[in-house]
Structure 1
Amino acid sequence: MLLEINESEKTNYQQIIQEIFSYESKGIVLGLERIKELLAKLSNPEKNKKYIHISGTNGKGSVTALCTAVLKEAGYKVGMYTSPHLYDVRERIQINYQLIPEKDFVDCYLKIKSFITNQTFFEVITAIAFLYFHQQDVDFIVLEVGLGGEYDATNVIENTLVSVITNIELDHMQYLGETREKIAKEKAGIIKQNSVFVSGISKEDEIFPVFEKKAKIEMSIIVFPNIQQNEMMKTALFGKFQKGNALLARTAILELQRYGFMIDNDIINAGLMKVQWPGRMQFIADNIIIDCAHNPAGIACLVNEINLLKEEKKSERIVVVFGVMKDKQYEQMVAIINDVADVLILTHIPLERSIYPEELIPFITKEYYLFNEPNEAFSFGEKLLGEYVQKNHKTLLLVCGSCYLIGSLRVDLFKL
């Protein structure tokens, strides 16, 4: 049951949120020592739970949401932990698609506050999630890795039933390494002893031996999705690429049979059609799409989908609102966007990590406009969209480049 929160508690909640976000000043620091120390003081709420643990450069959030949807459809109480959030930090911690109530969020934080020493923002939120899921006695926890795998705070867990790695592309290289092989070694760290590893990486991929070696060390069974079933997959998530994510989720769920959890195909299919995962190839209006693609591989996948849509809808113009973090491969991302955009509207996301739009000008080959505020950029995009529609030009407006860009437009998007 959701707990009500009164006005004084509401003020307290807002103060707590500010306090928690102050931990962001510690930045991203990989390693398990700090989270282990914090969870030990809480009597290790993460222990003795049933986990599906998911990593990968792209698609891991979608697979997390898809697995959650199927387990919920099967009648289980399912904790889901994801990152980052779009609009509300509580999106990261959900049970059966219900956000952790504000009161529970505050209570969990206050329980751990006195034990916090040098933990990062992500480690604090992760500890809140484990504590809340323990208090609520969930049947399963579907856990999305925050960054990498081996030294990510979520990897403090020991008894994983199934681990899933979706793919390996170049991203977060300053933390994980500058080659696919180095990144693969980090992500392979989630493969646990005597568990099942569902591999989105094919045997033919040059980096597969990294996972094969780790699975052998851990005596973990390697399972591949049946690629022949890919085109048959159906899910509520839009985009052809989501078929592959749905297939990975289906494979992971079926592997739970090894542990005595029998979930039939009808339930799996029904669950895949009830998935909730906003901000991923999401239509917020008939001709406005938002997507969190934030690296070259993700943008390339998105552009493929937009090209298919352009043909299907007979669209003549694509207007793109684009903002990106300066620690991303933004040159490559813009180069890919150039291929599909007729007009680029560049903006600055209100975060220190965001690049300023004028810095992207050297890489632009199309008509462009610059705005320092995302809401101004989006409003201008809507204005162009209206003008083109009045002239009978079928047009799509796409917002992409970062989850943080989507999040910064919450008020504007909720008006639609």
Structure 2
Amino acid sequence: MNYEQALAYIHGTLKFGSKLGLENIRNLLEYMDNPHKKLRYIHVAGTNGKGSTTAMIASILKQAGYRVGTFISPYIERFTERIRINDEDIPQQRLADITTNVRSIVQKMVEKGYTHPTEFEIVAAIAFQYFYEEKCDYVVLEVGLGGRFDATNVIDTSLVSVITSISMDHMDVLGDTIEKIAFEKSGIIKEKGLVVVYPNQHPDALQVIRRVAEERNAEVTEVDYSDIHIISAETDETIFNFKNHYGLKIHLLGKHQVLNAATAITAIELIKKKYNIRISEKDIKAGLRAARWPGRFEIIGRSPLFVIDGAHNESGVDVLEECLDQYFPGKNITLIAGMLRDKEYSKCIKKIAPKASLFIATCPLSERAAKAEEIGNIAKKYCNRVIIKEDFHEAVKAGLELTKEDDVVCCFGSLYLIGAVRKIFTEVSK
């Protein structure tokens, strides 16, 4: 199997849907001789901020000299971004080789009457096998959806469970209240484990996390917002202090990224102390400074400034609005929006459309995409100037042509959309 064939096989398993539960992935990994049982994990769940926090934890461990695997979902530009070691994607042929092996195991399982694994379960199994073969010291594992029944929760133990910001998203699967969603996320908490919780967590979510942790005799550390002091925030870097860590620098923009960084540092401090892991202050500083997470309030173009952001739920849009106010006060903003129909897009657009001097409605590359016309019609209630461009290439072109050089274009609403838009800019700059 070559890389293209491997991807076709993986994506072809989408027809098996997404099944919450761990039986499938356990059976598959059992047939693969349980590679996941031979690794050490930092497990990260949450509604927003999972990826950024994962990237920062992995970057600090890498700076300390360790071989660090990261498993994330979804990807921005390349499928191989989902499985990385020390910032390097899994090689395409290596992915193909492991996929070939997994496919033959799946065929044997199905012949014996087992349920066919889902796409996410197959990708997770490929990742576990790769990290095991490559002898990773640590793996930072980002939950795909929820936590309790997510395929990543097949792991029996973790060094620490990290729970980032919790808000309303995926309500059709996880539940329609903050408490229900928090319960699903808290599913990653292990018996007698360590738990780190993002600062300023929703009180209802916090109550659930504490209860689940108590039931499992786990130790909860809640990051204290009052320990965080932002010194300066520019469009190239943010400088802040956290507890006894002074002059920390991150290139990820927005106050929320400082909170994610504080969460990452707290997780690192806990595992350093409990497991006697060698990590210096210098490693923490260098790791944070080196951490990158594409597509999160990322400036990808100048003149006019072109920003992409993965905001696709209400809390994400709140943070995006905060960032636009903070970094671009007094600027005219052109918004390019494309969202999936299973998201609460009308609420998101109602929140942010009044900020736009021009609103361009478009369509992400996904079968689940909401029609550009639907997005545009909602935006017309809150913005005087709305254009509908079904093709995102046309939307980007219009945004650049109709925005003055010293103003700002911001594209948001779906990782499918911003990934495709980012690719346009990276290919042009090559």
TM-score (norm 1): 0.92
The 3 A distance-change label for structure 1 pair 15 and 205 is: same
Are 2:376 and 2:388, in contact at CA under 8 Å, matched by a contact in 1?
no
Q: Does 1:95 align with 2:107?
A: no
Q: Which residue of 2 aligns with 1:126?
A: 124
- Unaligned ranges ≥5, structure 1: 1-8
SS of 1:262's equivalent?
coil
Deviations 1:250-283, CA, capped at 9 Å, x for gaps? 0000001211113222211111000021111111
The more displaced of 296-305 and 338-347 is 338-347
Q: After the TM superposition, which segments of 4 or more aligned residues of structure 1 sit over 4 Å from their partners?
A: 201-204
Residue in 2 that maps onto 1:299: 317
Correspondence for 1:407: 419
- Greater displacement, 197-206 / 353-362: 197-206
1:3 corresponds to which residue? none
Deviations 1:30-77 (A, max 9, x none): 111111111000000000321100011100110000000000000000
- 2:335 alignment partner AA: V
Give the C-alpha shift of residue 201 in structure 1.
5.7
Contact 2:317-2:351 at 8 Å conserved across structures: yes
Paired AA for residue 235 in structure 1: I
CA distance in 2, matches of 1:254, 1:159: 18
Tell me, in whole angstroms, the C-alpha distance in 1 between the residues paired with 2:326 and 2:188. Answer: 35
CA distance in 1, matches of 2:168, 2:223: 23
Residues in 2 aligned to 1:138 and 1:13: alpha-carbon distance in whole angstroms: 23
Which residue is equivalent to 1:186? Answer: 184
Any residues of structure 2 matched to 1:1-40 within 5 Å, and which? 12-40=2-30
Determine if the alignment matches structure 1 residue 361 to structure 2 residue 376: yes
1:172 alignment partner, one of 151, 170, 173: 170
Instruction: Return the letter of the residue paired with 1:403.
Output: L
Asked if 1 retains the 8 angstrom alpha-carbon contact of 2:48 and 2:316, the reply is: yes
Asked whether 1:325 is paired with 2:316, we answer no
DSSP-derived class of the 2:159 partner: strand
Unpaired stretches in structure 2, ≥5 consecutive residues: 111-115, 230-239, 242-248
Report the equivalent of 1:278. Answer: 294
- The answer to whether the 8 Å contact 1:13/1:103 transfers is yes
Change (3 A) 1:203 1:87: closer
What is the distance in 1 between the residues matched to 2:194 and 2:46? 16
Which of 214, 217, 223 lines up with 2:215 in the alignment?
217
Note if contact 1:325-1:353 (Cα within 8 Å) is conserved in structure 2.
Answer: yes
**Equivalent residues of 2:199, 2:224 under 8 A apart:** no
Q: Which residue of 2 aligns with 1:382?
A: 400
Q: 1:20, 1:131 → 2: CA distance?
A: 15
Deviation at 1:383, TM superposition (A): 1.1
Aligned to 1:139: 137
- Name the counterpart of 1:342: 357
SS at match of 1:409: helix
Partner secondary structure for residue 115 of structure 1: helix
Letter in 1 for 2:340: M
- Report how far residue 345 of structure 1 moved: 0.7
Letter paired with 1:38: L
Deviations 1:330-352 (A, max 9, x none): 01110122132111111112211
- Could you tell me which amino acid in structure 1 is paired with residue 424 of structure 2? D
Alignment partner, residue 306 of structure 2? 288
Task: Report the alpha carbon displacement of residue 115 of structure 1 after superposing the two structures with TM.
Answer: 2.0
> Is residue 391 of structure 2 the alignment partner of residue 373 of structure 1?
yes
Residues in 2 aligned to 1:35 and 1:303: alpha-carbon distance in whole angstroms: 39
Mean Cα deviation higher: 229-238 or 87-96: 229-238
Q: Tell me the CA shift for residue 15 of structure 1.
A: 1.9
Query: Please, what is the CA RMSD of the aligned residues?
Result: 1.5
Q: Output the TM-score relative to the length of structure 2.
A: 0.89
| Contact 1:126–1:153 under 8 Å retained in 2 | yes
The equivalent residue for 1:46 is 36
Report the AA paired with residue 394 of structure 2.
E
Instruction: Name the CA distance, whole Å, in 2 between partners of 1:363 and 1:204.
Output: 29
The equivalent of 1:6 in structure 2 is: none
Q: CA 1:43–1:122 in structure 2 vs 1: closer, same or farther (change >3 Å)?
A: same
Aligned mate of 1:259, from 258, 272, 275: 275
For residues 14 and 204 of structure 1, the distance between their equivalents in structure 2, rounded to whole angstroms, comes to: 43
Structure 2: which amino acid aligns with 1:25? K
Could you say what secondary structure the match of 1:47 adopts? helix
**Residue 134 of structure 1, CA deviation:** 0.3
CA distance in 1, matches of 2:418, 2:193: 36
Asked if 2 retains the 8 angstrom alpha-carbon contact of 1:59 and 1:245, the reply is yes
Q: Once the 2 structures are TM-superposed, how far is the Cα of residue 13 of structure 1 from its aligned partner?
A: 1.3
The offset of 1:204, in angstroms, is 7.6
Deviations 1:356-405 (Å, cap 9, x if unpaired)? 011123421211111111111111111112xx23xxxx310111101010
Give the conservation status (yes or no) of the 8 Å contact 1:97–1:276: no
Map Cα deviations across residues 104-140 of structure 1 (whole Å, 9 max, x no partner). Answer: 1011111111122411111111010000000000000
Aligned to 1:4: none
Specify the alignment match of 1:5 in structure 2. none
- Give aligned pairs, total: 397
Q: Deviations over 1:7-36 (max 9, x none)?
A: xx7xx2112211211112223221111111
